[in-house]
Amino acid sequence: MPAELNEKLTHIIAKYLPDIQVVLLSLRDIILNVSPELNEEFKWSMPNYSYKWKLICYLQAGQNHVNLGFHKGKELEKADAAHLLQGSGKRCAISGIKSRKKLIRRR
């Protein structure tokens, strides 16, 4: 059973260009189906997802891509054999996704 949708985010996502909407909605669906205990919030002008109020990841939409960022992404580096995560921050790591097709190939 997926986590509950935040209706405010549904309306915000609808304002993006169709190509970006598809990626946002696909990632949102994947994330929310991980656990019914995830919370979907709108923080720092973007969708954020938390588990037991600890931030897990976020979606940041650009003009031609969507970044899937992990708040403690540096802890995931050793498990990232495909080198999908990027970034030089101390705590965050991101993966930029430009199309649903590329998202499907990465799964």
Instruction: Summarize pLDDT for 83-103 with one digit per residue, the tens.
Output: 666 766 665 556 666 666 555
- pLDDT for 88 equals 61
DSSP letters, 29-42, are HHHHTT-TTEEEEE
pTM of the model: 0.78
What is the spatial distance between Cα 28 and Cα 14, in angstroms, rounded to a whole number? 13
Residue 97, burial from CB neighbour count under 10 angstroms (0-12, 13-18, 19+)? buried
